Amino acid sequence: MTGQEKIPRWLRPAWYGLLAAAAWMLAEGMRDDFNFFPAMEAWSMMLGYMGFCLIACTLVIGPVKQWLPARWTVYLLALRRDIGIMGGLAAILHVILVVILFEGEPQLFFAGSQEMMAGWLGLFFWDTPDGGLEPNMSMVGIANYMGAIAILGLLALFATSSDRAERFLGGGTWKRLHMYNPALFLLVTFHGLIYVQLIKGEPHTYRDILWMTAAVLLIRIAAYTTTVIKRTLQQRSPD
Ligand code: HEM
């Protein structure tokens, strides 16, 4: 997501101030809903949802920009990159908190937890009687594998969300890498759906996750359709 260096230097403190304020408001807005969970678990869930929502935003800014004045493009691209970085950070913090939660006292209700390995490895493996490891292929285990693939992808996007990384990789490779963003979003959708349906169930429901994903898909399909129609019309009347 490029364009950051084109934002005037004098505007940057206000820009980052606004982004920080928006992130704070998002967290504050969610807090009441998650108050009844222990603090660390509440933060882990809030950060998961923040990551999910922010990735959703990065996926609609690109399509929406074609409907907005061209002079906004620089700002929208910079916004997309910064929101992507914030979403990546939220997802990383979510995973760190989950690992801490599972390393310490088991604080989450986890279906079948009596058969799981102690510690964070239990998110991914069953304990076998001979002391070995067996991949946890329950729905929750699959949700964790999806989360793990998503976080690896998001880390790659996070690490390459700078002009320097784009120059280093070359525009084509960089673009191909960042085109995986929608696939990562879908993985996170399924990850969240499994958790919300099988384990948590509140304060959000599967409907909230599906609404967000459907809105992203619809906006992207609408933008794609608009582009195709515009191109077809241009080809028919080139002047
Ligand atoms: C190794 C990777 C991951 C693991 C092991 C993991 C694990 C978990 C766990 C244990 C929960 C349940 C409650 C809690 O948050 O404490 C959860 C929920 C959630 N995770 Fe992840 N996660 C991973 C990656 C991600 C990523 C990359 C995202 C996207 C930003 C994400 C988004 C969510 C969301 C939205 C929920 C809330 C669903 C609900 O209400 O229960 N997770 N995850």
**3: pLDDT confidence band, cut at 50, 70 and 90?**
very low
Note the pLDDT tens digit of each residue in 16-60: 889 889 988 988 888 888 888 888 889 999 999 999 999 999 999
Ligand 1 mutation target, pool 98, 124, 196, most atoms within 8 A of CB: 98
In angstroms, the CA 109 to CA 235 distance is 59
Dist. CA 22 → ligand 1 center (Å): 22
Q: What is the pLDDT of residue 239?
A: 61
Q: What is the pTM of this model?
A: 0.90
Please name the residue that has the structure tokens 């704070």.
24
Q: Show the CA angle centred on residue 46, arms to residues 105 and 40, nearest 5°.
A: 25
Of 56, 42, 51, whose CA–CA distance to 23 is shortest?
A: 51
How large a percentage of the chain has pLDDT more than 70? 91
Q: How many CB atoms lie within 10 A of CB 224?
A: 11
* 131 to 37, 102, 116, 143: CA distances (angstroms): 34, 20, 12, 24
Of 215, 196, 216, whose CA–CA distance to 204 is shortest?
A: 196
The closest-lying atom of ligand 1 relative to the alpha carbon of residue 120 is 5
Note the pLDDT tens digit of each residue in 185-230: 999 999 999 999 887 777 888 999 999 999 999 999 999 999 999 8
Note the pLDDT tens digit of each residue in 88-121: 999 999 999 999 988 876 555 554 454 555 688 8
Q: How many Å from the N-terminal Cα to the C-terminal Cα in the chain?
A: 33
The closest-lying atom of ligand 1 relative to the alpha carbon of residue 90 is 30
Strand 133-135 relative to strand 125-127: parallel, antiparallel, unpaired? antiparallel
- Measured from CB, residues less than 6 Å from any atom of ligand 1 are 41, 44-45, 48-49, 51-52, 91, 94-95, 98, 101, 108, 123, 144, 147-148, 150-151, 154, 188, 191-192, 195-196, 200, 204
